[in-house]
Amino acid sequence: MSIEIGPGLSVGIAEIRGPEHHHFAILDAIDSADCISAGLVANGFCMVEHAISVGWGIRPDSFGALTFRQFHELVRDRYYAELYRHTLAIGADYERIGEVVADIAVALLNDPQLNS
């Protein structure tokens, strides 16, 4: 898919990942980003996946009812677009992945299905 940002400005070919019901929100995040490139688009998707994995790994032992796969799928289903928007806002800078993980930690505390 070629993503165009404004008239005549294209960031090239990028695969839109994440749950299908988040695709419009993801495209909006890309379209509204201040500085965008095909590399940033792709790195943002990878960073979301890594942040979810880290979020699962740091959850308290008392939140252990969900398997890795269940946790990953639930976070992706509910929060993917928000997490992706955050990764774009920080330039998909892996030095700042903790900020995205913090979003997941907040969801852990507030979402009963994640903290069961």
To the question of pTM greater than 0.75 for the whole model, the response is: yes
Q: Are 83 and 108 in contact (CB under 8 A)?
A: no
Give per-residue pLDDT as tens, 30-87.
Answer: 888 887 788 899 999 999 999 999 999 988 877 778 889 999 999 999 999 999 999 9
Structure tokens at 7: 């008239």
Angstrom distance (rounded) from CA 58 to CA 92: 21
Using only the alpha carbons of the chain, give its radius of gyration. 15
Angstrom distance (rounded) from CA 113 to CA 65: 10
